[in-house]
Homo-oligomer: A and B are copies of this chain.
Amino acid sequence: MDIESLPSSRRRTESLSSHVHKVGVPSPQNLLKDFKETVKETLFPDDPLRPFKDQPRSRKLILGLQAIFPIFEWGRDYSLAKFKGDLIAGLTIASLCIPQDIGYAKLANLAPQYGLYTSFVPPLIYAVLGSSRDIAIGPAAVVSLILGTMLQDEIDPVKNAADYRRLAFTATFFAGITQAALGLFRLGFLIDFLSHAAIVGFLSGTAITIALQQLKGFLGIKDFTRKTDIVSVMRSVWGSVHHGWNWQTIVIGTTFLGFLLLAKHIGKKNKRFFWIPAIAPLISVILSTFFVYIFRADKKGVQIVKHIKKGINQPSVHEIYFTGKYVMKGVKIGAVAGMIALTEALAIARTFASMKDYQIDGNKEMVALGAMNVVGSMTSCYLATGSFSRSAVNYMAGCQTTISNVVMSIVVLLTLELITPLFKYTPSTILSAIIISAVIGMIDIESMLLIWRIDKLDFVTCMGAFLGVVFDSVEIGLLIAVSLSLAKILLQVTRPRVVLLGKLPCKTTIYRNIDQYPDAMRVPGLLIVRVDSAIYFSNCNYVKERIGRWLSDEEEKFKARFLPRIQFLIIDLSPVIDIDTSGIHSLEDLYKSLRKKDVQLVLANPGQAVIDKFHASKLTELIGQDQIFLTVDDAVLKCSTKVAELELN
């Protein structure tokens, strides 16, 4: 951090100052135009009407139809080869979804057939409206758990099963409405407020919670807590150790859990065997059901599914609460669960879209998911979304379009019509084992470690969400996740970095942070700082005081080394994206207090929004138009000439 010698900087001054480019002041914008542009970038960043521009009317109609029903777009070049891929993928995910559905319905405290119903209607709707080619639609673990815990806070699922189910349909209906509304009003960016780190922590925590819940079925415990936190669950487990566990259940459970995990391991090791973990659950169900039936293990305390209603979905419009005290509860639960379901579905859609390199329109996707859940709520389905595990299998099995969902749906239909009675002797412990093996992959320690390496604050968010879910509840975990995500943004805007700049030695016009570039040289008589943020009400006092502190610190240092005193304070405004009225007032205050110390304030490279506001507030007149430069280098050249002149006098 050496101080550059004066004469050289002076020499260059004369030769360069002749062609100084002025700071660009954009012509004042029309207010309405400005407003329209802001709204457009905020709500329509994807410019959805662009393809319609300059097209004949008939073409517009077709494009409009294709926009609403993507099936018209990809349907035209659908081929037998593609269908082959979809058929295989559809059959594979069907075999995976049937046992999962029955288990997930239990997570939502609903009878098993509702899980199957939810894998029948929503995938059909999605196939027509949705634009992701790889997502597998149906019940999902996290959403089932959230819906289940939130619903049981309102109605007891055992004592008031009918009311509980009605509230579940109501919540599903309003979840669909929420999702579609977010898409229609183009507010999809709201779900972006859950950061990646928060999602990783939240999902890992939820996976542990779900696995813990399975201990009930897995150990054959009869009295089990209604709470989901680890402390309550563990107390339930230990409390029942002497009289509540059933050894036959445990043997069946552990055997098949081992089998499932082994299948998973094989599938992971060799991608060619992806179908082994995909069909392992169904094989487990068949084998264990047969085993229980033969040995009548149900008489020895092994809990079984007992009864799944035969036949397809009944209409359930009349069961949705549109009036009464449960409406608002349904709205609230629906909004929360619907947003989580959206987050999950969009994350899946985006992941696979980027792998196959096609575009997903977030807002359109929300409308599709919303519509599918609204229809679902009227046909005895509960909240459906994309399932991570099934979507991955779908992708690996070579699905081409949403037709694989249709295939799955048809298989589920056949299951409902024909073979549900066969599930009677399926032991509950198998369903628990299937759920455990499905959610265990969601505990993403690798991502957590990566987050720790990249960003410590993100890791705090991740852990906050994780511990919130594990030690309290999914709602608290979610609240922590959102709060910490927002707090991080606010912290950055409240305490932005204000750094000192120096000139790089071999590049004679580049000024950089002297912390990052230790060989950057200071210029005598000047202090160059850069504010690394928009200047807003939340940080303007801090920025002003921080600059004041740099000035007094550096003045002391300069004095101690008998160097000329600081006469110019140059602020590099390059990263200052925006400034508000509070920020303008702060700069005015800074200017005035610097004047009292006989230091001139000089500004470099204000952006478009900033220079606009300088003019509007007449700050340019106060500071002086000639004290605002295009680059730090221009400012330094001008100022060091003056410093040199003053030194010579």
Contacts of A577 in B (CB 8 A): 492, 496-497, 532-533, 575
List 7 contacting pairs A-B, 8 Å CB cutoff, sorted by A.
A24-B513, A31-B456, A454-B581, A488-B536, A493-B493, A509-B509, A533-B577
Q: A197 and B580 in contact (CB under 8 A), knowing A189-B494, A515-B608?
A: yes
Q: A542 and B189 in contact (CB under 8 A), knowing A574-B575, A593-B357?
A: yes
Q: Which residues between 31 and 64 of chain A lie within 8 Å of chain B, taking CB atoms?
A: 31, 34-35, 41-42, 45-47
Report if A10 contacts B (CB, 8 A): no
**Smallest Cβ distance from A116 to chain B, in angstroms?**
34
Contacts of A362 in B (CB 8 A): 541
Decide: A196 and B513 in contact? CB cutoff 8 A: no
Stretch at the interface among A234-242, A383-391, A582-590: A582-590
Decide: B581 and A197 in contact? CB cutoff 8 A: yes
Scoring A residues 468 to 498 as 1 if CB is less than 8 Å from chain B, else 0, what string do you get? 0000000000000000011011111111110
Scoring A residues 244 to 288 as 1 if CB is less than 8 Å from chain B, else 0, what string do you get? 000000000000000000000000000000000000000000000
Contacts of A512 in B (CB 8 A): 24, 630
Q: Please tell me how many copies of the chain the complex holds.
A: 2
Contacts of A35 in B (CB 8 A): 456
Report if A607 contacts B (CB, 8 A): yes
Report if A458 contacts B (CB, 8 A): yes
Scoring A residues 517 to 533 as 1 if CB is less than 8 Å from chain B, else 0, what string do you get? 11000000000000011
Contacts of A561 in B (CB 8 A): none
Q: A504 and B192 in contact (CB under 8 A), knowing A516-B608, A542-B45, A607-B516?
A: no
Decide: B485 and A489 in contact? CB cutoff 8 A: no
Looking at A362, A536, A577, A581, the one whose CB has the most chain B CB atoms below 10 A away is A581
Q: Which residues of A contact B (CB under 8 A)?
A: 19, 21, 24-26, 31, 34-35, 41-42, 45-47, 189, 192-198, 350, 354, 357, 362, 450-451, 453-458, 485-486, 488-497, 504-507, 509-510, 512-513, 515-518, 532-534, 536-539, 541-542, 545-546, 549, 574-575, 577-578, 580-582, 584-585, 589, 592-593, 596, 607-609, 611, 613, 616-617, 630-631
Q: How far is the CA of A394 from the CA of B196 in the complex (A)?
A: 54
B485, B506, B609: the one within 8 Å of A21 (CB): B506
Closest to A590 in B: B354
Decide: A489 and B491 in contact? CB cutoff 8 A: no
Q: How far is the CA of A31 from the CA of B592 in the complex (A)?
A: 39
**Smallest Cβ distance from A539 to chain B, in angstroms?**
8
B504, B534, B581: the one within 8 Å of A492 (CB): B534
Q: How far is the CA of A179 from the CA of B588 in the complex (A)?
A: 29
Closest to A196 in B: B582
Looking at A195, A451, A533, A630, the one whose CB has the most chain B CB atoms below 10 A away is A195
Decide: A581 and B450 in contact? CB cutoff 8 A: yes
